[in-house]
Structure 1
């Protein structure tokens, strides 16, 4: 009995000591609006002792020590470390702030193939814009404009019309930046270009846009010389609800959007649908436009191991276009002047209309094989249909420079209805570009141990494109006839001469182009196709600890190219030779955590990039350019990142060398002799430094800023060759281009922005950005021309009105004013004519130079009802 009492006393002592040595920690986790965050993680630092917050954001946790720190985290928010002690155990409200660059809460499926910063632990230079920011600020602009307040980004071409903007990253144009949609590459297979009018619906369907400058996190065998831009679309939403949007803007712009989510049912099924329509007259004269966007997503999660999502989306649109003009023309006729349109019997007609419909389908499958292994796969397809219109025949203009359609109809009537190049007739033709693109990207990930992760995958694509011209509008004619002489297998026009007479037309309408294709005997000027097939393998090995991380990425790919010409060749010579090119890339990097808040990294990589199809077949026939070769790119970058509760920022230094670029042929006819000119051995070297930060100066005041200082130049000499039709060398010259600045993007840019919440629900924001050292977009053999510097100020205001006490329904009101000060500026030039004695100038620039002025003051207003 005595032994039992002693044992009981000892047990009681240990229990008491344990209880007295514990601290019960309580608190509530909330967001920046003081709304609870259910499911937030709360862990005692350095232990596995943790819990999750309840529906009201509250938690209770016992600690074995009297003092220490807890780590509070929630997807999409910045992690917060809070100190506790036995005397301060009730921590009250713990407020988490949104992580601007986090996409963890966005990517529901496709995590293994959507290469985003954060998926790989070794840092990169990155900026992220989420759906709320896109919807708030984009207005009538292209999605490219969401990134103008980030370092080393320059957007131009807006003055061309809806969807005609271009984006440059670190001084490299769109052909040297990789663009991906949910993990699938979307750069043009033929030329690497991006046509943003085809993606006008991205504004509505994007959950986020992330720009990775430089080497990026992509594991694919793609050449992200300037960087890579990832569009993450919405997928099937797990919650039931929807929204309705209505917006208006300057120049007759109207837009409406409706979206509804069924939510996931008990069987794991869900559907999300979005439909949108927009139209407007355009900022510049004669740039009317109209389009729709549709998005349908089906999600299915049968169990915890499998997650499927199928979506189909498209953005059929047409938009009228404006082309570059001389500065003197703008000064004479107004900065909105456009001469690509006119009137017939008082009704508007345009000569230049782009129309396109590109449905995209993809199926994502995420398979969790085990706790340590997973497989992600995306199957995709796209079908592009459409083109662009232009003149063919005898164009007539009015005294003020517009197209005189009344005179054109009169001339056509005088021909008796049968038009050709010899009888002053005129038609509007459409240059058609059609394609079918199928692909699959699959990535297997194996966690070897707590520190080491291995990835391996494949990227397979096949593309078939068709290009021809057809009559879009006869303007009173009944037919149009053209003569042509067929070529032999040596590209000589020794075959018979034949005539093509077109009697059918196809309207410049994206929906009509989707379901109708002109017969081959009705095609004029040209008719050719190409088959491009691509097979790539990639791998990644990453090692990480609490202190450091390191990775290796490697990829190899083969591209095959073949061209088919039905218009210019005898039937037996329609098919070109088939060409295969091997390319590869290697990337390595390492990152080190200096403290809990700061880290440094270094990445380097080398690319051997295959030439694009249009650089292989660059003379509009089946002849292969003998000088096409792989381009060589070497990149090196260093960075420092800092992240705390109130301040986050980064500094990035980069160096990129790009060698062996071959420019395309230019046909020149001199006394009946056709010659071809090309440049070889282009070498560009881009280096620079970038800064960006976000500071939460008060609970209701945020300050943002960025700056980039680049030094982008051509190096060495450029070889120019002139060849005859049989590719025999006629002449060759070598010209030094050393030290000439690369044009088409501002080498210096910086800006500041503020977000200020005046009271709950009402906030204002403003952004200012400044551009300097912007040079004309011309060949380096033509020298350089610096454009005037300029700065732009934007302003916006938002008001949210909650409907009901449960905060599940609300109205969002938004107003934007861009270029508030109505600053007049030149956004780009495509010539570099130097000022001479007696020449007219505009801000020091010879007015004979051609280009675009940027938009003046514009505005947009909208209301969104969420339910």
Structure 2
């Protein structure tokens, strides 16, 4: 990989077949998946670690911070360390032992997963007006990510501390009480089985309607396991209530540690939609209902009866209603508008605390109110096309949760409900082709995403007879972070030959505020916006050529992409007031941890269609 000691090991498969049972029934089956592993760079760094000159040029970067952070270079990663070539310890993932990826280093952070998808589609035509489309599917998933567990020896000679694998291995190798620190896998294994069926009925030439049913059930396993003992014979873990002997506590490769939970999600839903179309007017309306139920089992925790701790919710209902219409003004202009309201069931983590099995007594749904209106235009005999729209989304009663430990040692769960945000903006897209060989494309998005209120979180102390406290969060008028709120793109495409397209695209991003955790805004005096990333622009080039001849009946095309042609240096992602890499916690450049954007890169290849 481009970043130090990052890498990818992956492959993919796809299988598809179909059967026309008769003129009114067709079956399709497809299977797709992509097993893969990645050596990762997960940890952002202070700007000065990547590029001290860039940091020094920023007006809001304190020069004193330059003395606190050593330079690692643009490709620096904290997530690996050298290891002696004579260490041959095995690693464990996906149920068996493996050799590590590289004999000369170990990645602290590696992820691995395989998510196969199997679909059986059935299309049936009952008559000219009535059709049914049904899907039976299986979605699997097996994977996880690595990290350290226990007490690791660290190397502080690097810009930010990295794991000292050799020192850790040497300590574990001579220990009589097992490894003090190891590598672990955090696993997420899951499967989903579902069925979706939709019926479409044409009432008359102007009116159609459809109804649908959606059922699915899923099981998700969350656990950690020993990945690499790093020179030791075993790792001592006594956190499983069902382990009873010293031998049970001595964990070897593949044994579960830290936590071991199984969650289930059951879903039922349905919808109705009607559409009317006559002359210049098209309109639709739809409504949907859903109901979700969660369960939880902690395989490491025993209840008062000596059984596994379990939790189960009631069925939680949600709904949505949407509607819209469009009107053709003339042959060049049409206008449209859509509106909707969604009452969304909270996700599992906002209903059950998988740390102790606590269930929210009365979980509240999140609410979304959305509106969109726009215009489409075409003219100059098809040479010019443009569309613009205004959107508004109000996200109310946003729900978040966090487990806490109270002063008396009991465990509690903080629920935030009532946090509101507003997302609104204008989007424009145009393309102009003055001659057959040249086309210009312009796209722009100008947005205003902001939190609209301060909130009080209810603090349910389940370890102290239901004592209720509050936590005040001050986020009113703070910008929503982690995405540029203004984006511009201008492209010029050339078509010098049939099948050949060369395109230059200039992209400009601005008004991107660093990501932050609203839980941290508990000080009424701290109302400063999160740090705003400097605006940046990059140029990309794309080339595609479809060969004018077929080879053995196959269509062949070649392509090439050159990204960041001018090798611009820019920050692409940032977290505000980093607890690990910040300087003085006042929401400016020296307090952010960041990822820089990729430098100039390219790829090229061949596509074959048959």
Give the TM-score of the pair, scaled to structure 2. Answer: 0.85
**Is residue 814 from structure 1 mapped to residue 559 from structure 2 by the alignment?**
yes
Q: Distance in 2 between matches of 1:681 and 1:497?
A: 48
Q: Name 2:3's counterpart in structure 1.
A: 284
Closer, same or farther: CA 336–845 of 1 in aligned 2, 3 Å:
farther
> 2:72 is matched with which residue: 333, 336, 343?
333
Q: State the distance in 2 between where 1:288 and 1:729 align.
A: 50
Match of 1:790 among 532, 536, 539: 536
Q: Which residue of 2 aligns with 1:622?
A: 357
Contact 1:311 1:363 in 2 (8 A): yes
* Residues 417 and 476 in structure 1, CA contact (< 8 A), matched pair in contact too: no
- 3-state DSSP of counterpart to 1:592: strand
Measure how far apart 1:671 and its partner are: 8.3
Give the distance between the partners of 2:513 and 2:362, measured in 1 at CA: 29
2:450 aligned residue: 713
Pick the aligned partner of 1:851 from 584, 590, 594: 594
Shift of 1:405: 1.4
Structure 1 partner of 2:235: 480
In the alignment, is the contact (CA less than 8 A) between 2:401 and 2:413 conserved in 1? no
Which deviations, in whole Å up to 9, do the C-alpha atoms of 1:189-213 show, x marking residues without a partner?
xxxxxxxxxxxxxxxxxxxxxxxxx
1:641 and 1:484 map into 2 onto residues whose CA distance is 62
**Is residue 2:244 matched to residue 1:505?**
no
Distance 1:418 1:832 in 2: 38
Shift in CA distance, 777/627, structure 1 to aligned 2, threshold 3 Å: farther
Note if contact 2:412-2:463 (Cα within 8 Å) is conserved in structure 1. no
The 1:866/1:527 distance shift into structure 2, 3 A limit, reads: closer
- For the residue of structure 2 that corresponds to 1:418, the secondary structure is coil
Contact persistence 1:802–1:809 (CA under 8 A): no
1:281-430 to 2 correspondence within 5 Å? 282-322=1-41, 323-331=43-51, 332-346=71-85, 347-398=104-155, 399-400=157-158, 401-416=161-176, 418-419=178-179, 425-430=180-185
Aligned-pair CA distance for 1:833 = 7.0
In structure 2, the residue corresponding to 1:626 is in which secondary structure?
A: coil
Please report how far the alpha carbon of residue 845 of structure 1 lies from its aligned counterpart in structure 2 after TM superposition. Answer: 4.1
Identify if the C-alpha distance between structure 1 residues 619 and 311 changes in structure 2 by more than 3 Å, giving closer, same or farther.
Answer: closer
Distance 1:393 1:298 in 2: 50
Deviations 1:641-695 (A, max 9, x none): 1245323221111111111112121435768565554433110011111101222
Aligned length: 553
User: 2:411–2:463: 8 Å Cα contact kept in structure 1?
Assistant: no
Partner of 2:347: 612
CA distance in 1, matches of 2:335, 2:279: 14
Structure 1 Cα separation of the partners of residues 552 and 433 of structure 2: 25
Question: Which residue in 2 is equivalent to 1:16?
Answer: none
Tell me: CA distance 1:640–1:659, structure 2 relative to 1, closer, same or farther (3 Å).
Answer: same
Higher-Rg member (1/2): 1
Greater displacement, 611-620 / 324-333: 324-333
The Cα of 1:596 is off from its aligned counterpart by 2.4
1:153-172, Cα deviation, whole Å (9 max, x unpaired)? xxxxxxxxxxxxxxxxxxxx
Aligned to 1:438: 193
Alignment of 1:329-728 (within 5 A): 329-331=49-51, 332-346=71-85, 347-398=104-155, 399-400=157-158, 401-416=161-176, 418-419=178-179, 425-484=180-239, 486=241, 500-506=248-254, 522-570=255-303, 571-626=306-361, 628-643=363-378, 645-668=382-405, 674=411, 676-726=413-463, 728=466
Question: Which aligned pairs between 1:199-218 and structure 2 lie closer than 5 A?
Answer: none
- Deviation (angstroms), 1:598: 2.0
Partner of 1:217: none
**Residues 731-762 of structure 1: CA deviation (Å, up to 9, x unaligned):** 42434422111111111111111220123344
The CA deviation at 1:618 is: 3.1
Change in 2 beyond 3 A, CA 1:500/1:770: farther
CA distance in 2, matches of 1:693, 1:813: 28
Higher RCO structure, 1 or 2 (CA under 8 Å, sep 6+):
1
Aligned-residue CA RMSD (Å): 2.6
Unpaired segments ≥5 residues, structure 1: 1-281, 420-424, 488-494, 507-521
Secondary structure of the equivalent of 2:359?
A: coil
- For residues 15-38 of structure 1, the C-alpha deviation after alignment (integer angstroms, 9 at most, x for no partner) is xxxxxxxxxxxxxxxxxxxxxxxx
Alpha-carbon distance change, 476 to 534 in structure 1, aligned in 2, over 3 angstroms: same
Report the TM-score, using the length of structure 1 for normalisation: 0.61
Q: 1:428 Cα shift? A: 0.5
Question: What per-residue deviation string (whole Å, max 9, x for no partner) do you get for residues 591-628 of structure 1?
Answer: 11111232111111111110001111135221112363
Aligned CA distance change for structure 1 residues 746 and 604 (closer, same or farther; 3 Å): same
Structure 2 counterparts to residues 251-270 of structure 1, below 5 A: none
In structure 2, relative to structure 1, the CA distance for the partners of 1:829 and 1:391 (3 Å cut) is: same
CA drift of 1:819 comes to: 0.9
Query: Which residue number in structure 1 is paired with residue 509 of structure 2?
Result: 771
Deviations 1:823-853 (A, max 9, x none): 111112222479xxx9799xx9432321221
CA contact (8 A) 2:429 2:443 kept: yes
1:701 Cα offset (Å): 1.3
Deviation at 1:497, TM superposition (A): 11
- Measured after TM superposition, the shift of residue 590 of structure 1 is 1.1
Partner Cα distance (2:411, 2:266) in 1: 32
Distance 2:417 2:14 in 1: 44
What is the CA deviation profile of residues 416-439 of structure 1, one whole-angstrom value per residue up to 9, with x for unaligned ones? 3723xxxxx221100111111000
Classify the secondary structure of the residue corresponding to 2:487: strand
Larger fraction in strand: 2
Query: Equivalents in 2 of 1:824, 1:473: separation in Å?
Result: 38
Matched residue, 2:62? none
SS at match of 2:2: coil
Aligned to 1:188: none
> What are the equivalent positions in structure 2 for 1:10-89 lying under 5 Å apart?
none
Cα distance, 1:333–1:863 mapped onto 2, change above 3 Å: same
Matches of 1:860 and 1:575 in 2, distance apart?
50
Partner SS state of residue 329, structure 1: helix
